[in-house]
Amino acid sequence: MINKYDAFIFDLDGTIYRGTKLIPGAKETVNQLKNLGKKLIFISNKTTGTVEQYFNFLIAHELSINICEIVNATTVLIKFLSEYSPDSNFFAIGEEVFINELQEAGFSFTNNPEEIEIVIVTLDRTLNYDKLEIAAKALELGARFFAANIDNTCPVDNGEILDAGSTISALEKRTHKKLEQHFGKPSKYMMDTINEKLQIPLNKCLIIGDRLETDIAMGNKFGIDTALVATGVKHFPNENSNIIPTYRINSVSDLIK
């Protein structure tokens, strides 16, 4: 694998770490690939931390990386909104870190359904009925319906928790409005950002991740080889059976074994 590819696109949660713990062998794998001159990029659909926070976590665990090698769904979303909806008021079902990042980028937050022009959904561990109803009323009044990511669950130390996908489904059923666009894996917006950073032919890239419906689906969608690891979310027989990884490995450490 190492000889076949010039660039390695790593998922973070469930692939490089799970919760607050690094996956065994992740540091050695990343650092060896770096020493071999391979291009690396780390991508995450998780919006509960900033790119800087992810970077600080990884270098604290002695991974030899640069902050410019990290992309999350928040950065991709901000890039899109800056270009296409710079003056729109937004409401987010998301955590404080996510909302603060959008506000710092110049976007105006409001929880008045009559003023909301864009509803954005992402992981929110403080989700409640009031947030759902604000979003639902705004959508019924004509607000756009976006999501930073579409993951159904997020891997944590002791299992998994509900993620944006479940919230999106609830709002779609409540309002009969369909999600318009999302900006994490496996979207074109995330892929465009990766291409801008790597500038490597896609047939020389490998995506490594734990999710069929995001990591592996992105590879299938854009013609990139993939490696599915078993260190993140659980998979069940016949789940997303039309999404096929190029390789199945136990963990990222298998890349250098």
pLDDT of residue 166: 92
All residue ranges of the chain with pLDDT < 70 are 237-239
Q: Supply the pLDDT for residue 175.
A: 97
* Dist. CA 77–CA 257, nearest whole Å: 37
| Conformation bin of residue 40: beta by default, left when phi > 0, alpha when psi is -120 to 50 | beta
Nearest residue to 74 via CA among 171, 180, 179, 193: 193
pLDDT at 225: 98
- Measured CA to CA, the distance from residue 226 to residue 8 in angstroms comes to 10
Q: Which of 207, 220, 213 is nearest to 252 (CA)?
A: 207
As a whole number of angstroms, the distance between CA 118 and CA 176 comes to 16
Helix pair angle (164-175, 129-140), 10° resolution: 50
* Residue 237 confidence (pLDDT): 65
Separation of alpha carbons 114 and 143, rounded Å: 9
Catalogue all structural domains in the chain, each as residue range(s) with its CATH number: 7-72+185-255 (3.40.50.1000), 74-182 (3.40.50.1000)
